[in-house]
Amino acid sequence: MTPAKTLNALTKRYGGVAALTDLTLDVPAGSIFGFLGPNGAGKTTALKILAGLSRATSGTATIDGVPVGVQGAHRSRVGYLAQEPRFYGWMTGRQTLEYVASFYAVETSRRQVDELLELVGLADAGDRATKTYSGGMRQRLGIAQALAGNPSVVLLDEPAAALDPLGRHDVLEIMRRLRGDKTIFYSTHILDDVERVSDHVAILDHGRLVVSAPTAELVASAPGTVRVVLIGASDSTAASLAGLPGVSRVAPAGREDDEWSYDITIRDGQTRLVQREVMRLAADAGLIVAANRQQAPGLEEVFLSIVDKERAA
């Protein structure tokens, strides 16, 4: 696919601190692209540079072939949702969208504003002052204002951060509807959402790109995981499981009465070994094994594995 956005050796420094280092990335046109990383990884910095709100220390970026710059022509092609969107409280939702659209070289009719309000679930609140909006409603309005100028590329910084599960579902549906028509580049910590809607994923850590790949390929590369449920376990059981051959990581998954659940991440090709070792450990400790089953990998396992390996290197 033709890149809608290209970043080439993008670097941003604040004094002696590097927020981004040599970030090179192609974002396919029409894709939904998830931009992941721990807090402080540099995701918001990259989004602000692409939006024209910050200047890179070095490196280049283009959107639809147009160079990115603080006062650049690329800004007419970009819509941007900040992590914590803020609006003039005395303006209505409708007035806010009309105001934002006025900065673009397009005319936005009342019908188009109505369609945007409908798209984000604010049709009944469009004529209310934004100061009366809840946090979730402001987030929805933020998505609508990012679309107000009919941009080809939409940058969303944590678009579902302030939303309840129903609101998150609605945001994902909005993104699905825009697939192919817009390129959506968004950051998030909600990995389940990324796996559900994203075509491509990039993982950033300490300002450096760790991996970029189609989502399905990345999930397929995940290490095996085993869900173990033990009856009669204790606080020390997780450490005992972590010491078994073939185990790379143990995450407690909950407790119900006397049943303790654990998710065990397996080193390559050693699932059967780990399952046998779990049975041996349980027998030695007098525990009852209620479950010891392999699970399909998910993006969360991939993310944790990649970040853990990067920090151990």
Tens-digit pLDDT profile for residues 20-66: 999 999 999 999 999 998 888 999 999 999 998 999 999 999 888 88
Position 312 in a domain: no
Tell me, yes or no, whether 122 and 70 share the same domain: yes
Cβ neighbours of residue 51 under 8 Å, at least 6 residues apart?
Answer: 75, 78, 80, 155
Tell me, yes or no, whether 106 and 163 share the same domain: yes
Report pLDDT for 84: 85
Structural domain count, the chain: 2
In which domain, by residue range, is 250 found? 225-296
Tell me, yes or no, whether 183 and 229 share the same domain: no
Q: Which string of b and e fits 182-207 if b means at least 16 CB within 10 Å? A: bbbbbbbebbebbbbbbbbbbbbbbb
The string of pLDDT tens digits covering residues 240-263 is: 999 999 998 898 999 998 999 999
Interstrand relation of 208-214 and 58-63 (parallel, antiparallel or unpaired) = unpaired
Backbone angles phi, psi at 141, to 5 degrees: -65, -35
Does residue 310 have a pLDDT over 70?
Answer: no
Tell me, yes or no, whether 132 and 22 share the same domain: yes
Position 33 in a domain: yes
Mean pLDDT of 159-187: 88
CATH number at residue 279: 3.30.70.260
Q: What is the pTM of this model?
A: 0.79
